[in-house]
Amino acid sequence: MRPTDHTWAESFIWHIRQVPSQLLHMRQLAESTVAAQDTTSVRVSGSSEKARLPLRVEPADDADNLWAVLVVTSQHVLEHVGGASPRPLRARMWQGRDEPQGLPVCTPSEAFAKGTEVVRWLEACTPTIERAGELHDSIDHLTTTIRKARTRYPRAEPQFKTYRPRPCPVCGERSILPVWGANGLAGAKCDNCGQSWTRLKRS
């Protein structure tokens, strides 16, 4: 039995709001120096020696997979709704044959910001997505991927929550996004004009 439209919309929005924090958390795990040192040695091609991987492969691959599914789903939505699309859907994507293969080269906080931008757009498209039955297979695949990521990396969502952009005092656009560091919120940056702020540490 298919849930009511209201229940479907709530479930969809709840799921996609997890994406930025999941991307952030998985990329932080992947790039953790301590974690990278604990990975199993791998044999270098053409050599009898073993070398440590520079990052943890599994969370990096899982972050790439979540991003690729998010982008492919968003591209399907864009084909249906038309109009303007978020910047991350238009630029700096790794391209395979027909689909993105993962996140572009970026820091964990940039992955969070890219995910947030796409998720905000998808959330705005929710009423149209609800009415478009042909999109539901893509959406189901996305929500399943999100649930798997949350199960595998359960610490992500409680630590970091989706952030509603604040208005910028410099350019006036509602485009101030957080910059996350290893210990949480490190500052903020306007995604429109580039103005940035550093969080003051309490003495």
Distance of CA 21 to the CA centre of its chain: 7
Judge whether residue 160 has pLDDT over 50: no
- Dihedrals phi, psi of 183, to nearest 5 degrees: -110, 20
What pLDDT shows up at residue 176? 79
Is the predicted pLDDT of residue 26 greater than 80, yes or no? yes
Residue 81 has pLDDT above 90, yes or no: no
pLDDT band at 29 (very low <50, low <70, confident <90, very high): confident
- 119 pLDDT more than 90: yes
Q: Measured between alpha carbons, how far is 129 from 77 in angstroms, rounded to an integer?
A: 7
- Answer for the pair 146, 99: CB distance below 8 angstroms, yes or no: no
Residues 6+ apart with CB under 8 A from 119: 16, 17, 19, 20, 70, 162
Rounded to 5 degrees, what are φ and ψ at 98? -130, -10
Confidence of residue 201 (pLDDT cuts 50, 70, 90): low
| Least-confidence region, from 6-10, 59-63, 91-95 | 91-95
Percentage of residues of the chain with pLDDT beyond 70: 69
Q: What confidence category does residue 56 fall into, taking pLDDT thresholds of 50, 70 and 90?
A: low
Q: What is the DSSP annotation of 97-122? A: SSSB-SPPS--HHHHHHHHHHHHHHH
pTM: 0.63
Of the listed ranges 38-42, 68-72, 124-128, 152-156, the one predicted with least confidence? 38-42
Mean pLDDT of the chain: 75
Q: Is the pLDDT of residue 38 over 70?
A: no
Report yes or no: 150 and 18 within 8 Å, Cβ to Cβ: yes
Exposure string for 89-99, b = 16+ CB within 10 A, e = fewer: beeebeeeeee
Rg over alpha carbons for the chain, rounded to the nearest Å, is 18
DSSP state letters, 115-143: HHHHHHHHHHTHHHHHH-GGGHHHHHHHH
